[in-house]
Structure formats: structure tokens, C-alpha cells
Amino acid sequence: MVWAQKTVCSSPQEKGLTDLVWEVKRGISNIDGEFVRRLGGDGLYEYLEKLRNEMPQQANWLSISSWVNMGLNEVDFGWGKPVWLSGYFTQHSESETVVMGNVVTLLDSRDGGIEVLAIFDQKYVAGFEKNDLIRNYARVNPSVL
């Protein structure tokens, strides 16, 4: 099951990283059996409409997904197992298609660990490139092999 859950977080300057992680965790914990039951009938449409209406026009958003333990590295569509998995996120309008940034996807790595695919809007990239903690663990545009 793939689903959207909204969590409102203050700016990183006002809260520490631990606080922001807690807000995301709290948002995820709202997805339970009762939540799923409410999606029956017109509940799905109503929920999506509510999410859309509650999102401030100027909001900065971050999409976090986990593809961990889904077995995607083992899927063979006839030309072998995938070498690398990636997402492509777009937003469409009548005049253009825009690749959406601010997307983080957790994936199974080949060595049994967790890999993170992060796609950010250009205005946020410099901040990540300057962060020593992130740079110790991340590679920008790594080889897929």
C-alpha cells in the first residue's frame, strides 16, 4: 500500500533535526486500520481533496517513501534483475511537465543495507553539499554500477 500523509513541520532553524524526524514519525503513525477503513466509499476522494486544500500555496514540501523490503531488486521483466532503481516524479499542467524535487526514497541496497535516493529542488542542493554530516554518508550522482 502506498499512501500520502501530511505532517506540518517548522523551519529547521526553529527546531532541531530530532524534532523534525519526530514530526514525520508522528505523521506516519496516523496511518492505521481506522485510517484505512475511512478511505472506503467516497472517503478516498474526500481525504485527497482535504490534503490538497490544507496545503498552503507557499508550502515547502518533502515526499518520503520507502521501497524497502518490497523485493524490487528481484523483479525480472525479461531482461534480468534491475541494476538500479529510481523514481521519476512529475507534476503536469496544461502547458508543461515539471520534474518534482524534494523527494526522498529509501531502497534496499545490493549489500543488504539501505540506500537513499534524494532528489531536491536546486535551491536546496547547496545546503546539502555544505553539510559535513550528510557529505560523510552521501555521494552526489553516484555510478549505478
pLDDT tens digit sequence for 52-77: 777 777 777 777 788 889 888 889 98
Q: Where are the domains of the chain?
A: 15-57, 60-145
For the segment 110-130, what is each residue's pLDDT rounded down to a tens digit? 888 888 888 888 888 888 788
Q: What residues contact residue 79 under an 8 Å CB cut-off, 6+ apart?
A: none
Predicted TM-score (pTM) of the model is 0.65
The closest of 140, 15, 124 to 60, measured between CA atoms, is 124
Tell me how far apart the 2 most distant CA atoms of the chain are, in Å.
50
